Amino acid sequence: MDNKETEYTKDSYLAFRLGGEIFAVSVHKVLEILELQVITKVPHTPQYMRGVINMRGEVIPVVDTRIKFNMSVSDDTVRTVIIVLDLFIKNKKVIIGAVADSVKEVLEITEAQIKDAPEIGSNYNTEFIKGMIKSSDDKFIMLLDIDAVFASEDIELIRDISDINIVNTQVNNL
């Protein structure tokens, strides 16, 4: 692809608010946006694991993204949502829910707009950040590599919780 194509080829990102920051994830990873609902806590899981929800008969693990990103915890509001994500981690499809304070908008972003994430002064692990863009109101939006966010120590826990769904589905089909 030449520079002109890169400059004009756009990709869509879902922007969402988390604390005072704005993050964005590729819309190709977003399955659904749900209003906050009752989340069933799973015992003996890390603090960032809020629990599970039932989405049309599927058990979906839900992560409190604020805690995952070492941000201060805030109360849920009527704008709090669960972003259901379709991830592909370590050769396995994993569906999870990520709690966000609110959904902002869908952005059309060109490669030319994306700047590298700073190595110094960032409160976040930059290996999870694809890059940054400047919004129309001069704020920075962090573009997440959402597969990398959950590719670390979380994956075994998320797989275990996701496997509950497989077992439940098999039992229900007997």
Band of the pLDDT at 68, cuts 50, 70, 90?
confident
Pairing of strands 140-144, 21-26: parallel
How many whole angstroms separate alpha carbon 115 and alpha carbon 62?
30
How many whole angstroms separate alpha carbon 100 and alpha carbon 21?
11
Instruction: Express each pLDDT in 15-57 by its tens digit.
Output: 999 988 999 999 999 999 999 999 999 988 888 899 999 999 9
pLDDT for 102 equals 97
Domain assignments of the chain as residue spans, ordered by start: 3-172
How many whole angstroms separate alpha carbon 154 and alpha carbon 55?
21
Judged against a pLDDT cut of 50, whether residue 151 lies above it is answered with: yes
When comparing pLDDT for 68 and 165, which is higher?
68
Contact 40, 53 (CB under 8 A): yes
Judged against a pLDDT cut of 60, whether residue 147 lies above it is answered with: yes
Contact 47, 92 (CB under 8 A): no
How many whole angstroms separate alpha carbon 45 and alpha carbon 170?
24
When comparing pLDDT for 163 and 100, which is higher?
100
The whole-number average pLDDT for the span 51-76 is: 91
Instruction: Express each pLDDT in 117-142 by its tens digit.
Output: 876 555 556 678 899 998 888 889 99
Band of the pLDDT at 172, cuts 50, 70, 90?
very low
Contacts of 1 (CB under 8 A, 6+ apart): 9
pLDDT for 169 equals 40
Contact 60, 168 (CB under 8 A): no
pLDDT for 127 equals 74
Judged against a pLDDT cut of 60, whether residue 82 lies above it is answered with: yes
How many whole angstroms separate alpha carbon 137 and alpha carbon 157?
38
Judged against a pLDDT cut of 80, whether residue 97 lies above it is answered with: yes
CATH homologous superfamily of domain 3-172? CheA-289, Domain 4 (2.40.50.180)
Sign of the CA dihedral running 96, 115, 23, 5:
negative
- Per DSSP, the chain holds a count of helices (H) and strands (E) of 4, 10
Cα first-last separation, the chain: 51
